[in-house]
Structure 1
Amino acid sequence: MADRMDQGHDLNSEFIEAFGDQWRGNFMELAELDEPFNPHALGGWQSFVPKLGQTVSANEPQRDPQTGRVEIDPFNFHIGKLASGCRVACVRVGHFRIDKARAAHFALLAQMFQKVSDVCVLDLVHNPGGDMLRMYEILSALTDRPLEVPKHELALTEDDVTRARTVLRRAAYADPDEPEKAPSPQIVAFSRFVVAEAEAGRARYLDPPSGINTQPAAIFGIEQVMPAAMPYSRPLVVVVDEMTFSAAEFAAAILKDNGRATVFGCRTAGAGGMVREVPMPGLADTLGLDESLGIASLTLTWTVGHRTNGTLIENTGIEPDVEYKRTVKDLTDGFANYRQALEAVVNSVAGFTPSPFSPGTASSGD
């Protein structure tokens, strides 16, 4: 299969066109739409993670005096200076339901962080996930070396296989004088895999049903996330919590398993696969459900991700390198202990003041 992400091609859109909406990521409602400034909302523009050090610069929301509309940067960030002298860039990614323009904007922020910071903190708490490929694009801006990504077992449907065969026919009859109209190498490689697995009997729709998934393989045909042209290469700390889901968990796993980042917080949710939406028409008869119940569709997990160390994320989550569980005291005193613990880790990974919170040490914040 193809082994790297094409930086100049919108592969995400191509997969959605070829294989359907299951490639859009999860379908959770995002707080960014109506509660962007609620620090405890899922997918919000800001989170409860406190600002670190003395703020040097930040992208505060701006209100248009004419319309009253609040304008915000796609990503909430601030640059702080710790008492140790360490310069830290903190950036909030509330979800991965972003378009290519936002991913490109993040790459520009990463270039700026490279110039003004000693370490970067990537805030993924209360992140419900989103588009896996967009997440890959974000990670490409945060690494100066290839990152091996998890492989997935797929529960193939007949529609998946039909769409894969359509891609392969398009590739076979593509005009060599118009290569831009041909399917990308990644989608062709993935389609070949889907068809081969179905022909080998590893598909759920077969009669009689096989009841088994495919062999683990690189989703999208991508085995590595390659560095962006001008990536962030300094130390990285990823902050997670029990409300970090799906693509956000894969992001933390990829950075942790490749030795690119130190993960801080508590074990993530354990939503370790991609999901697809199944419309109710027709499904109601199959499951014996009454459509009058008002159920429009069901969302089902259709892939199971295997980390590079062989473990699963599904029902397990990502264990942090440095555990910190929030307490009632954090909520009442402005997360002072949380800030102290996170700043200690930041100093340690950046080579400044040694941290008393060594990897694997739990802190209750008491």
Structure 2
Amino acid sequence: MGGKGEHGTAMNTIKMIVLLIFLHSAAFAQLSPTQKRVDFEQLAGLFAKRYAFVEWKAEALGVNALTIENWLARAERTESDREYFALCAEYVAQLQDGHAAFLLPTNFRAWLPFGVDIYQGKPVIDQVSRTVADQILPGDELVSLDGEDVDSLLQRFELVIGDGNPRSRRRVAASFLTNRPQALLPEASQVPATATVVVRRGSLELTFHLPWEREGTPYEFAGPVATPRLESNTGTLEGLPEYLRPRESLMLYRSALDRYVRNMGTLRPAYQLPSDFRLRLGGLQSDPFFSGVFEHQGRRVGLLRIPNFNNMALRDLDLEIRFFEDNTDALLVDVTRNPGGSGCLVEWIAQRFTRTGFQSLGASFRVTWDVLGAFESSLQRALILGAPPDVVAELERQYSSAQAAYRAPRGFTEPLPICGTSRNIAPVMDRSGQPFGYTKPVVLLIDEMSYSSAELFAALLQDNGRAILVGMRTNGAGGAVASHPVGHYTEASARLPQTIAVRTREIAVPGFPVTTYIENVGVQPDVELDYMELAHPATGDQEFWKALRSVIDNTINGVALGQSLGAQPR
């Protein structure tokens, strides 16, 4: 017994010595003011060179990313690497762009066994793990966490969240209250061992003590670690012509990083389904989308939820579209809580909703040397593979546009196709050469958590008069995103858009210049319907469904629905 105790004491002593050595090393491993300045100038230089929306942010938001004197002074005054990391994140977040982020090279995450979102303007718990279901209840309002008022926490977290839509920015901040990825939130590693959670339940305020769970390795200072390289999670896109492969990375329209909002990017929607809903696809995680049918006043309404725009089995979608065409009177399509994905899938899915074709959005490319090389490689591959003459001619025209843009100061191409060689998109055909797209009324659900390619999809259907858009203004992330290493000393990375998505018509929205952009402006619904106000974890979403069914009824009956948020085409 004595020997075992002595061994345990010795091991504890060794662990303490190792910990002290680590802390001592960390204290002396902080970046110098000069190193911080060098890294910050590289971060700003990356945005000056590649960021598509520098001019737009200055015009629309009054944010000049190229004026960095004050930022450099603040960087040199930071007292720790972690404080410097937070400053870099704040610099990128000021651009209010759901595509852009400053990312630390760490997989560390801390979390509590419940989730929070903003319902009726308040931070309300809407996800609860079974481990604390006897303490925390859905519908509890979170008052404070670890001794800090929730409003104070939300304001601090919003400083490093770059979403262009204030509602989504607030909701993402709420998700970070109990789910803290250090890649985006530098302070995440500083949570205590035990959280002090204060909630309001009716007239009572209750206090609970719950352990903070942790995983991964925290990034406390800029030591000698490898430069992070973030890979696209969309994989190789099935169906993309071989000559467009060099430009595939320029077709990724996705949020900068995962958002920990309930049902974000999941097959199953956040709302409760009607009692008579009959599921078709979505019961298996391997299913590409969620679909089914429910009744409404003697009519059959289809539901198609597209959880993201990553690789999708279009053959399955074709079968479902044929079923909906033959067996429904209207179709409810849901792209809420959708992080985006491939710009090509936007057009390919939209093809299933027309039999006459449509004009798609364009993409104006911020041309750097690697982008110019991608255009050249596409042209060379088309020539080698014997592509049709009209395809070669169009790729030559696009390459010439990219060359001219590269020679110009911060040059952009004219709006080019977001995928392929034409903005005029033909309907999809069956084997006999006949179009088979869905022809009946379509209601498209959107919200502030609809990002990037989900927004392109909404804009495309709206611009072509193919759907009634219902919900809330989308996130306002309107460009294709790429990731780049940044900082010789920090060894971090940054994501930013290098293209500007351009609609087919100008939109006038209060608070912004008249524009064809989606960036910041988002896509405005034709009918405003706020799920986060009409629903609540404690009382359900009956009011939401009541309002939504009214819109479906009016759409089926052909009642004109005006654009209720004032977004008027010019």
TM-score range with shorter-chain normalisation?
A: 0.7 to 0.9
Q: What secondary structure is seen at the aligned counterpart in 2 of 1:79? A: strand
Q: Are the aligned partners of 1:127 and 1:245 in contact in 2 as well (CA < 8 Å)?
A: yes
In structure 2, do the counterparts of structure 1 residues 14 and 300 end up closer, same or farther at CA, with 3 Å as the change threshold?
farther
Q: Are the aligned partners of 1:30 and 1:44 in contact in 2 as well (CA < 8 Å)?
A: no
Q: Distance in 2 between matches of 1:50 and 1:224?
A: 38
In structure 2, do the counterparts of structure 1 residues 185 and 22 end up closer, same or farther at CA, with 3 Å as the change threshold?
farther
Q: Distance in 1 between matches of 2:468 and 2:498?
A: 29
Q: Distance in 1 between matches of 2:281 and 2:271?
A: 16
| Equivalent runs, 1:235-274 vs 2, <5 Å | 235-274=441-480
User: Which of 22, 26, 29 in structure 1 is aligned with 2:250?
Assistant: 22
| Equivalent runs, 1:1-366 vs 2, <5 Å | 12=240, 14=242, 17-26=245-254, 40-52=262-274, 54-59=276-281, 61=283, 72-82=286-296, 84-99=297-312, 102-172=313-383, 174=384, 181-183=385-387, 188-189=392-393, 191-200=395-404, 202-203=405-406, 206=407, 210-219=409-418, 220-229=420-429, 230-278=436-484, 280=485, 284=486, 289-291=487-489, 293-295=490-492, 297-310=493-506, 311-328=516-533, 330-331=535-536, 332-351=538-557, 358-361=561-564
- Post-superposition offset of 1:72: 4.8
Q: Distance in 1 between matches of 2:335 and 2:243?
A: 25
Runs of 5+ consecutive residues of structure 1 not aligned to the other structure: 1-8, 62-69, 175-180
User: Which range moved further: 188-197 or 342-351?
Assistant: 188-197
- Post-superposition offset of 1:317: 0.3
Q: What secondary structure is seen at the aligned counterpart in 1 of 2:370? A: helix
Identity level (%): 25
Q: Distance in 1 between matches of 2:438 and 2:331?
A: 9
Q: Are the aligned partners of 1:25 and 1:97 in contact in 2 as well (CA < 8 Å)?
A: no
- Post-superposition offset of 1:259: 0.6
In structure 2, do the counterparts of structure 1 residues 337 and 318 end up closer, same or farther at CA, with 3 Å as the change threshold?
same
Runs of 5+ consecutive residues of structure 2 not aligned to the other structure: 1-236, 430-435, 507-515, 566-570
Given the two structures, how large is their TM-score scaled by the length of structure 2? Answer: 0.50
In structure 2, do the counterparts of structure 1 residues 164 and 59 end up closer, same or farther at CA, with 3 Å as the change threshold?
closer
- Post-superposition offset of 1:306: 1.6
Q: Are the aligned partners of 2:281 and 2:291 in contact in 1 as well (CA < 8 Å)?
A: yes
In structure 2, do the counterparts of structure 1 residues 29 and 104 end up closer, same or farther at CA, with 3 Å as the change threshold?
farther
The residue type equivalent to 2:400 in the other structure is A
The residue type equivalent to 1:41 in the other structure is N
Given the two structures, how large is their TM-score scaled by the length of structure 1? Answer: 0.76
The residue type equivalent to 2:269 in the other structure is S
- Post-superposition offset of 1:145: 2.1
- Post-superposition offset of 1:211: 1.5
In structure 2, do the counterparts of structure 1 residues 197 and 57 end up closer, same or farther at CA, with 3 Å as the change threshold?
closer
Q: Are the aligned partners of 1:265 and 1:325 in contact in 2 as well (CA < 8 Å)?
A: yes
The residue type equivalent to 2:544 in the other structure is Y
- Post-superposition offset of 1:13: 5.6
Q: Are the aligned partners of 1:15 and 1:23 in contact in 2 as well (CA < 8 Å)?
A: no
Q: Distance in 2 between matches of 1:53 and 1:321?
A: 27
- Post-superposition offset of 1:73: 2.5
Q: CA RMSD in A?
A: 2.8
Q: Are the aligned partners of 2:243 and 2:381 in contact in 1 as well (CA < 8 Å)?
A: no
Q: What secondary structure is seen at the aligned counterpart in 1 of 2:353? A: coil
Q: Distance in 1 between matches of 2:472 and 2:426?
A: 28
Number of positions where the alignment pairs a residue of Structure 1 with one of Structure 2: 312
- Post-superposition offset of 1:314: 0.8
For residues 333-358 of structure 1, the C-alpha deviation after alignment (integer angstroms, 9 at most, x for no partner) is 22111111111111111128x79xx4
The residue type equivalent to 1:142 in the other structure is F
Q: Are the aligned partners of 2:375 and 2:402 in contact in 1 as well (CA < 8 Å)?
A: no
In structure 2, do the counterparts of structure 1 residues 78 and 304 end up closer, same or farther at CA, with 3 Å as the change threshold?
same
In structure 2, do the counterparts of structure 1 residues 128 and 190 end up closer, same or farther at CA, with 3 Å as the change threshold?
farther
For residues 2-40 of structure 1, the C-alpha deviation after alignment (integer angstroms, 9 at most, x for no partner) is xxxxxxx95536366323533344375568xxx9xxx82
Q: What secondary structure is seen at the aligned counterpart in 2 of 1:88? A: strand
In structure 2, do the counterparts of structure 1 residues 152 and 337 end up closer, same or farther at CA, with 3 Å as the change threshold?
same
For residues 265-296 of structure 1, the C-alpha deviation after alignment (integer angstroms, 9 at most, x for no partner) is 00000111111222x1xxx4xxxx244x352x
Q: Are the aligned partners of 1:245 and 1:271 in contact in 2 as well (CA < 8 Å)?
A: yes
Q: What secondary structure is seen at the aligned counterpart in 2 of 1:243? A: coil
In structure 2, do the counterparts of structure 1 residues 167 and 330 end up closer, same or farther at CA, with 3 Å as the change threshold?
closer
